[in-house]
Amino acid sequence: MSNIATIQLNSGPNTQANLLVVSDIFEQISKSKAKVVVLPENFSLMPEEDSEFLEKAEDDGQGNVQDFIRDLASKYKVWVVAGTIPTKTNNPKKVNATTYVYDDRGDTVYKYNKIHLFDVKLPDADESYNESETFEHGQVIKVIETPIGITGIGCCYDLRFPELFRMQLKDGVETFILPAAFTEQTGRVHWETLVKARAIENLCYLVTSCQDGYHISGRQTHGNTMIVNPWGQVLKRLQSGNGFIESEINRKQLQSIREKFPVLDHIRLLEK
């Protein structure tokens, strides 16, 4: 059994200021039992204009933000799920929203490029998003072995697509990690329900890491960072503000639930 810590932030357009907050929270986490630490979507950059993602995008595998997180991982001897960092693509007008996973030596174990992009006009609000104008859709998903067990990675809007999570069951996934920057309007009515649903239907832990509050861009994010167990129970929650929560990931309990309540063995996918 190992512990995971997950961070909530209110990031802005100043990367240096954002990373200073991250550094302070890691120092606090270092006094905990956490072996894995999660950062939210856009942790290093929540810009006023999406064009800043293009201007500040890093090369895959190298860059100031990536080096900073590698150093934290090796300094504190923890795995870090750092979601997300804008990284360059072959298209100069597009970037990837990349979540990097680093081990406790600071080595890159996995990178996940966000698959589902948020292109919506929010109902009854003067608020719209078109992530596909700036970001490319990711194409690859897999599970990895971490100190908390077999782990799958998603990001924010991915939460609304249950098939993405269900696909990973064949590889034995036990915990899903989801960095996010959910809007306040949709998060208020959908966030907790969706998080619990993905955990319950897959009998998995689900660990979220959120942006929260009003941002300089004018955007408001929902917060409510949670760690949910396979039975849909919220083990820890940070409703608002900067900080972190920590919980144990009990793999033996997870396997016991799956054995006694074998829903996953009853999946029947019918072809037309």
Positions marked catalytic: 41, 114, 156
- Residue 145 DSSP code: E
Could you give the CA distance from residue 232 to residue 197 in angstroms, rounded to a whole number? 7
Please state the separation of Cα 218 from the chain's center in Å: 22
- Provide the H-helix boundaries in 78-236: 162-166, 184-186, 192-202
Closest residue by Cα to residue 248 from 159, 102, 149? 149
Tokens of 267: 């999946």
| Closest to 46 measured CA to CA, from 84, 93, 20 | 84
Q: Which two tokens stand for residue 191?
A: 């966030």
Alpha-carbon distance of 188 to 193, in angstroms, equals 10
Strand order in the sheet with 95-102: 108-113, 95-102, 79-88, 34-39, 2-8, 243-249
